[in-house]
Amino acid sequence: MGKEIGITVSKENDFSEWFTQVVIKAELADYAPVKGLIVLRPDGYSIWESLKMSLDKKLAKTGHRNGFLPTLIPESLLSKEKKHFAGFNPEVFWVTHSGDSEIGDRLALRPTSETLAYSLFSKWIKSWRDLPLKINFWNTALRAEIKSTKPFLRTSEFLWQEGHTVHSTKQEAEQEVADILEIYKKTVEEELAIPVITGKKTELEKFVGAVYTFTMESLMPDGKALQMGTSHFLGQNFSKPFDVKFSDSDNVENFAWQTSWGVSWRLIGGMIMLHGDDNGLVLPPRVAPIQVVIIPIYYSDKDKENVIQKATEIHDILEKNNVRVKLDDRDQVTPGFKFNDWELKGIPLRIEIGPKDIEKKKVVLARRHNREKHDQVISGIEKMVLSELVSIHNDMFADAKKILDGKTVTVCTYVDFKSELEKGRMIHAPICSNQQCEEKIKEETGADVRVVPENSDDKTLKCIYCEKQSESIPLFARGY
């Protein structure tokens, strides 16, 4: 494979360039003409569709329904919850004209839809019988990125889902926030083979407008943490300014309790970074647009006919068993070129079949993720391929988990903290209750608290920054 087609840098030496090349050369995405915006090509979008289907099913089962919200929000409405607005203001795209006419109340391109959704919820909800209201929106959010952008990780428009729920009790809303975090974790682990750490954000790092924020985080190979999804308990912070009220069974009016939560195509960015290698993309089987590629190998026309025929048989039986399979019967390129091509695209399993294989009634199976090869008898191949796909997923997850665990350390001093950080680690470090210590650490090292896992309270140690009594041992890292 020529240099211009394959990946030209190694993942270890130039992670950032490697990532961009994988995205573009595996044809997942491309740059749009506006800086900071990308386009998803079919292979990239197909991964998003798989994720969407998996998450959508879980949300439907738990009583959520989908809706549609428009892209444009009037400035007057967006600015109704002050703190929330201040958080987004520098990133807002503003529509000021339609055709040649100027628009009075400028229109924001939705950076997120809390304000729009809740102005509607206040009309829709009258009594306790209308609750809980659990709506989800599959759309995009638009936030003009000032920092340097990166496909899937930091773009000025991104695909996501935003869920918004309204409850009659605080307890029910808090349960929802926790349930959603579990659903997210399950989806990411089971579809993308990405291990995550869940817990709360600190006051400093939570969503502006939330009472608290749950998060799931993972560590990328460059030592930076990636926030993979958040679930916010909003309390009554929005129901009060937006007048989201309900009358209870005694006919008494109350402000409702709310949640909001989202995951975006960042998940795909995480998947690429975590699993990819120097040959390109490595796709977890459940989201791979093509799970198995069959490469016929022959050097004469007589062999060709036999090989293609057998390869087609195998293709058909796999397809009948709901395997997403492709037979690469291109004539104008060599088997070697095809190997490289499908490796670049990350197809989880390759089947090689040649005349000698047919004589022995077998094929060669080659795994993408660890490049292991073994012979496989053709009879019963469908069962073997299905179980192979499951074990590829499990092995990819186990490998990733081992690396994550190996890169997660605990320190007791600021000196150790800084040295571990340079090694690209996620660090458990005790801190006190004074928010200034957290701020100072972030300012001096670039690392922030990614997540405060459950049961991380600890008053027996010393704060790594001020050395006063610790309050908890959260997890620090530099972040995306």
The residues pairing with 230 across neighbouring beta strands, listed in sequence order, are 215, 262
Distance in Å, CB of 203 to a second copy, minimum: 25
**116 belongs to the binding site for a second copy (CB under 8 A):** yes
User: Which of 155/198 has CB closer to a second copy?
Assistant: 155
Q: Which of 4, 100, 250, 454 binds a second copy (CB under 8 A)?
A: 100
**32 belongs to the binding site for a second copy (CB under 8 A):** yes
Name the one range near a second copy by CB under 8 A: 2-10, 28-36, 200-208, 433-441. Answer: 28-36
- Answer left, alpha or beta for residue 216, where phi above 0 means left and psi between -120 and 50 means alpha: beta
Q: Which of 4, 34, 61, 422 binds a second copy (CB under 8 A)?
A: 34
Rounded CA separation 255/417 (Å): 44
Between strands 72-74 and 426-428, the pairing is unpaired
Task: For residue 269, count CB atoms less than 10 angstroms from its CB and return exposed for 0-12, middle for 13-18, buried for 19 or more.
Answer: buried
Buried b (16+ CB within 10 A) or exposed e, 37-67: bbebeebbbbbbebbbebbbebbeeeebeee
Rounded alpha-carbon distances, angstroms, from residue 386 to 51, 180, 269, 290, 352: 20, 30, 26, 13, 17
Residue 196 — φ and ψ, nearest 5°? -130, 160
Q: Which of 23, 26, 51, 73 binds a second copy (CB under 8 A)?
A: 73
Name the one range near a second copy by CB under 8 A: 138-146, 235-243, 401-409, 438-446. Answer: 138-146
**69 belongs to the binding site for a second copy (CB under 8 A):** yes
Rounded CA separation 83/64 (Å): 28
Within its chain, how far is the Cα of 229 from the centroid? 7
User: Which of 80/440 has CB closer to a second copy?
Assistant: 80
User: Which of 139/169 has CB closer to a second copy?
Assistant: 139
Two structure tokens written together for 252: 């008494």
Distance in Å, CB of 69 to a second copy, minimum: 6
Name the one range near a second copy by CB under 8 A: 119-127, 256-264, 302-310, 318-326. Answer: 119-127
Q: Which of 15, 93, 255, 480 binds a second copy (CB under 8 A)?
A: 93
Site for a second copy in 155-194 (CB under 8 A): 156-157, 159
Two structure tokens written together for 265: 């195509």
DSSP labels for 348-373? SEEEEE-HHHHHTTEEEEEETTT--E
**94 belongs to the binding site for a second copy (CB under 8 A):** yes
Site for a second copy in 368-397 (CB under 8 A): none
Distance in Å, CB of 42 to a second copy, minimum: 4
User: Which of 71/175 has CB closer to a second copy?
Assistant: 71
Name the one range near a second copy by CB under 8 A: 34-42, 185-193, 301-309, 314-322. Answer: 34-42
User: Which of 24/317 has CB closer to a second copy?
Assistant: 24
Rounded CA separation 337/311 (Å): 18
What is the 8-class DSSP label of residue 331? S
Site for a second copy in 298-357 (CB under 8 A): 332
- Residue 105: CB atoms within 10 A of its CB come to 8
Q: Which of 70, 336, 406, 446 binds a second copy (CB under 8 A)?
A: 70
Question: Count residues contacting a second copy (CB under 8 A)?
Answer: 55
Site for a second copy in 437-476 (CB under 8 A): none
The residues pairing with 219 across neighbouring beta strands, listed in sequence order, are 225
Interface positions with a second copy (CB under 8 A): 30, 32-34, 37-42, 44-46, 48-49, 65-74, 77, 89-100, 107, 109, 116, 119-120, 123-124, 129, 135, 140, 142, 144, 146, 156-157, 159, 332
